[in-house]
Amino acid sequence: MVERLNEFGFPVKWYSEGRVRFVAPEFPTTKAGEPVAPTKWPIFYNPFSSLSRDLTVVLARTFDRKIRVAEPLAGSGVRSIRLLVETDTVSRALMNDINPYAVKAMKLNAELNGVLDRSEFYHGDAAVFLTALSGTENRVSYVDVDPVGAPSKFVENSLRAVENNGLIGVSATDLAALVGNHPNACYRKYGLLSAKNHFAKETAIRLLASFVVTRAAAMNIAAHPVLSVYHRHFVRVFFKLTRGRARVIKILANIGWIQACDCLRSTVYPLENLPDGKCPRCGGEASVAGPAWVGPLQDVETVEKMLQRSEDLPQAFETITKIRDEVDAVGFYPVDKIAKNMKIQPPSPAKLVEKLKEIGYKASLTHVDPTAVKTDAPLEEIIRLVSAGVC
């Protein structure tokens, strides 16, 4: 086996994730001991994305049939191999990468994990790989899109490669663009307006969802978000795809604008009603983001199924539990920012949630920001509770 590892011409090592062991580059570290950017490795493998792969495994377990999956940017192949090893639904995985060393690594890793006979390997451009799957007879049940940076150039071909009632998972790591730090970059990549606001990380999820939904709509595909996640350095949304004009028209009603002000007032506007950027609460200048997905970010039935199938993956189980318990509302209220505006000490977010529930509102914490509260209560009611010190 040592001889096989020496074939790469650069340092590699064994890693473990889920129920698989695999080979990937031995990454250099910074002076602080953190791994350098995975983009600088000779084979792409991001150890920080283990939650993304956990969630993909759990989602694949929810299928009620045997499925084929495709990964156009497979890198070391760990995601696809985990799908083959850790589910009883994935019968075959198609792995592609433009890097010849990555193809060599995924072949070795598939062999080491006993799934070589259920794997197919391709060396080439992701778009060409996906195009070959776009015919009705060649489509797969699931495509995973997990690039470095923006997924925008891979989404359309991925949508074409998925069969009716199939699923697609899309990640974005270019958070600086999506959270409003670089709105010009966001417009260049996605054709959308990002903006800084007090729930910018959730807005990033909603912009990514909007991009996929609108690209799918152009192909008469309705892309329904079934699970949406923010974690550390990425946002990820899984979609169920169904074909048909009537479904598309219905789902596009969930595309609109998000206006938010530093006073913490936020408002959702329908697509045909572009907001003027003036806050109706304080009269100040408000940010506008969109067109954004303003509908539900989760599908209740899918989330429950995933929760039931995630007990062997603690990080996924914890994340899905938090998502299941979140209130379905656009945006959230960071408690520390409310307190800062009022020049008082911030209360406990959990206690504020409890108090809001006591007086009849829906309220929850959010996995996106542990300091924040999601609720259907009006801002004035939240401010009243915080100022009264009852939480």
111/155 Cα distance (integer angstroms): 30
Residues 287 and 345 in one domain: no
Cβ neighbours of residue 9 closer than 8 Å, sequence gap 6 or more: none
Cis bond leading into 346, ω under 30°?
no
Residues 254 and 338 in one domain: no
Q: Are the beta carbons of 109 and 121 closer than 8 angstroms?
A: no
Do the bridges between strand 20-25 and strand 67-71 make them parallel or antiparallel, or are there none, so unpaired? unpaired
Q: Which two tokens stand for residue 74?
A: 């497979």
Q: Are the beta carbons of 97 and 75 closer than 8 angstroms?
A: yes
Q: Are the beta carbons of 22 and 15 closer than 8 angstroms?
A: yes
Q: What is the CATH number of the domain that holds 115?
A: 3.40.50.150
Q: Which residue has the tokens 């001889």?
A: 3
Do the bridges between strand 90-97 and strand 266-270 make them parallel or antiparallel, or are there none, so unpaired? unpaired
Q: Are the beta carbons of 141 and 163 closer than 8 angstroms?
A: yes
Residues 391 and 257 in one domain: no
Cβ neighbours of residue 176 closer than 8 Å, sequence gap 6 or more: 182, 185
Residues 88 and 152 in one domain: yes
Q: What is the pLDDT of residue 39?
A: 61
Q: Which long-range contacts (CB under 8 A, 24 or more apart) does 80-83 make?
A: 80/106, 80/119, 80/144, 81/20, 81/22, 81/106, 81/109, 81/110, 81/113, 81/115, 81/119, 82/17, 82/18, 82/19, 82/20, 82/53, 82/56, 82/57, 83/56, 83/57
Domain assignment present for residue 132? The answer is: yes
98/100 Cα distance (integer angstroms): 6
Query: Is residue 247 packed enough to be buried (19+ CB in 10 Å), middle (13-18) or exposed (0-12)?
Result: middle
- Distances from the Cα of 380 to the Cα of 259, 346, 365, 370, 387, angstroms: 17, 16, 19, 22, 10
Q: How many domains does the chain have?
A: 2
268/114 Cα distance (integer angstroms): 51
Residues 223 and 353 in one domain: no
Domain assignment present for residue 316? The answer is: no
Half-sphere exposure of residue 125, counting CA atoms within 13 Å on the CB side? 7
Domain assignment present for residue 308? The answer is: no
Say whether 90 sits in a helix, a strand or coil.
strand
Q: Are the beta carbons of 194 and 287 closer than 8 angstroms?
A: no
Q: Which two tokens stand for residue 200?
A: 């910018």
Residues 160 and 267 in one domain: yes
At 165, give phi and psi (nearest 5°).
70, 15
Q: Which residue has the tokens 């698989």?
A: 20
pLDDT in tens, 207-244: 999 999 999 999 999 999 999 999 988 999 999 999 99
Residues 342 and 285 in one domain: no
Q: What is the pLDDT of residue 45?
A: 85
Domain assignment present for residue 171? The answer is: yes
Fill in the amino acid letter for 306. Answer: M
R_g of the chain computed on alpha carbons: 22
Domain of residue 387 covers 329-391
Q: What is the CATH number of the domain that holds 363?
A: 3.30.56.70
Q: What is the pLDDT of residue 11?
A: 78
Say whether 274 sits in a helix, a strand or coil.
coil
Domain assignment present for residue 307? The answer is: no
Q: Which two tokens stand for residue 331?
A: 């945006």
Say whether 254 sits in a helix, a strand or coil.
helix
Residues 43 and 99 in one domain: yes
Domain assignment present for residue 49? The answer is: yes
Domain assignment present for residue 201? The answer is: yes
193/307 Cα distance (integer angstroms): 34
Among the candidates 268, 293, 318, a domain finishes at 293
Residues 77 and 22 in one domain: yes
Domain assignment present for residue 310? The answer is: no
Q: What is the pLDDT of residue 124?
A: 97
293/228 Cα distance (integer angstroms): 12
Residues 274 and 375 in one domain: no
Q: Are the beta carbons of 227 and 305 closer than 8 angstroms?
A: no
Q: What is the pLDDT of residue 10?
A: 74
Q: Which segments of the chain have a pLDDT < 50?
A: 2
Q: What is the pTM of this model?
A: 0.95
Among the candidates 293, 320, 347, a domain finishes at 293
pLDDT in tens, 305-363: 999 999 999 999 999 999 999 999 999 999 999 999 888 888 899 999 999 999 999 99
Residues 76 and 201 in one domain: yes
Closest CA to 70 of 127, 153, 1: 127
**C-alpha 322: how far from its chain's center?**
15
Residue 32 burial (CB count, 10 A): 5
Residues 280 and 371 in one domain: no
320/315 Cα distance (integer angstroms): 9
